[in-house]
Structure 1
């Protein structure tokens, strides 16, 4: 078997616009059927492509954006060239109304160019769109300020965003067309064969496996990932809750596709980006002798991945320092210390 067949959990007959809090605090993906079917953009998408385009243009403020442009040979899969030294598409600035016209002009082509605007912040380019197309994300109470919801819009023809992960929770709402998400839990990273860290379309490493035609001679352990994968297929008006760090490939299956998504994190705003830990570890730990790396695994388990309070529990409060609970002041002091050490 070379394709994922397990279906993502579905909650049917959702009350439109009401997102259950127990869903977004879970650690598993779930499809919410019809959650946003009442949105104006969904209604217009079911009516016609032109009415959808006209509606978007009427809300567009004229600010340019960046779009992905690939030739017909790309077949919508934004990836690398054969040498994996450059991307297989161009990323160019364009007016969004002109971008929409390009999609419409090639809508009925048998082998159209590939067009994609990825994760464009709605409020930056469509400031009035959320008045008729928005949902409240029920966030739990937090001790410190956390990241606010970021709403993005994704526009394209038949496209594939290759498998990657994001560090934020995600509510993906299918507006126009159909979408297919292929999902894998984070423990499948080795079986997904991640690509380069420096050269990426969106900042995260991509799986090097072509899911439509997997080369199991080159990537044999992908067969193991398949056994743990899920498929989530969305119609217009459906939504998918995707917890942070799940690997996901996203396909726009129709000739014209629009998705609106929300990203957020419950981590305090003063915390750093976890990816920076990985980069620093590559510099500082990866080339150490095996016995040292094993020792550092124990140290990280003790201070970071185990019980968050164990490292400070046996110390008086006044002596805990960075081992105690972080707050904005400690975070600033820790960041200053790190910058000082890195600049030496």
Structure 2
């Protein structure tokens, strides 16, 4: 495997599947490996507008805008589109603003006329909140799911590898994007930054996936051996399973991505990240033998539970160990809050 000076690699391509009538099969929406569907949204009016011209795509978006402010990330030309930390990880190399979407679109048009372009990125913005009606004209069939639908708008930008808890279908609506994906078990080789101080609320890899410094991050070579890459044109879609790391690079001077998130778990379940942060508080600094004991407790109750381990307890006396429902989760959350409030 070779890594060029531009950071490109000969990686495994994400598998592609064909679908009928524009609907992804139900079993594929529960997959644990990524896949690409070419042309899934080829008939979207937004996709057709973008193929006509960037100006037509912008005009189409403006039709739906009703004035709600959006959060935009702005970076100078020096960052070359890579939204990241500053040199000592004490801050970031960009700043956030609240603005009208029309103002952001105007600035994107201005940047396209410049030789050295600043980076502009409107990320993870609710479609229904910012552009009511857009989703109805550009639908996607995800079965009975009611996903969170978001829109991402910007110019040539690079987002570091990160993971999301929900499953994700992302559609390149305007422009092209490159996705580099890593399975969850490559965590150790991705050199992840701070858990609680990061650009968008999610821990990110410190490796520049477009130009990796393999002297500083030598284990990244192993991560690349397991990586999969996909380049999406307008109308193509990619399925990213829960917890898969993914770096995203926008390849055109104007890009629009639409994505859909959903969880394969009840709405009352809390984020596992809460458990991780609490474990940092309560377990990481324990003596090794005690950490090993707690590892066995978690294996027994969480990661490898079975009915035999609870057979000695009557159903009515299992309490927190009983199958959870909304009411049980409410009780358990209350007990946890009392413990934390001491």
When the two structures are superposed, what TM-score results if normalisation uses the length of structure 2? 0.95
Instruction: Report the CA distance between 1:312 and its aligned residue.
Output: 2.6
Residues 85 and 199 in structure 2, CA contact (< 8 A), matched pair in contact too: no
Residues 293 and 139 of structure 1: CA distance in aligned 2, closer, same or farther (over 3 Å): farther
The aligned residue for residue 69 of structure 2 is: 64
The aligned residue for residue 331 of structure 1 is: 329
Matched, 1:316 2:314: yes
SS at match of 1:223: helix
| Cα distance in structure 1, aligned partners of 2:68 and 2:10 | 40
The aligned residue for residue 6 of structure 2 is: none
Counterpart of 1:89 (choices 90, 94, 112) is 94
Runs (4 or more) in structure 1 with deviation over 2 Å come to 1-4, 14-17, 307-314
Cα RMSD after superposing both structures: 1.3
Counterpart of 1:189 (choices 187, 190, 208) is 187
Residues 155 and 258 in structure 1, CA contact (< 8 A), matched pair in contact too: yes
Structure-to-structure mapping, 1:138-157, within 5 angstroms: 138-139=143-144, 148-157=146-155
| Cα distance in structure 1, aligned partners of 2:126 and 2:268 | 22
Query: Size of the alignment, in residue pairs?
Result: 336
Structure-to-structure mapping, 1:273-288, within 5 angstroms: 273-288=271-286
SS at match of 2:159: strand
Unaligned residue ranges in structure 2 (runs of 5+): 4-8
Instruction: Report the CA distance between 1:314 and its aligned residue.
Output: 3.1
Structure-to-structure mapping, 1:1-344, within 5 angstroms: 1-2=2-3, 3=9, 5-12=11-18, 14-139=19-144, 148-307=146-305, 309-344=307-342
Residues 155 and 16 of structure 1: CA distance in aligned 2, closer, same or farther (over 3 Å): farther
SS at match of 1:189: helix
Residues 62 and 102 in structure 2, CA contact (< 8 A), matched pair in contact too: yes
Instruction: Report the CA distance between 1:4 and its aligned residue.
Output: 5.0
Residues 15 and 35 in structure 1, CA contact (< 8 A), matched pair in contact too: no
Residues 81 and 156 in structure 2, CA contact (< 8 A), matched pair in contact too: yes
Residues 75 and 114 in structure 1, CA contact (< 8 A), matched pair in contact too: yes
Unaligned residue ranges in structure 1 (runs of 5+): 141-147
Instruction: Report the CA distance between 1:17 and its aligned residue.
Output: 2.9
Residues 4 and 182 in structure 1, CA contact (< 8 A), matched pair in contact too: no
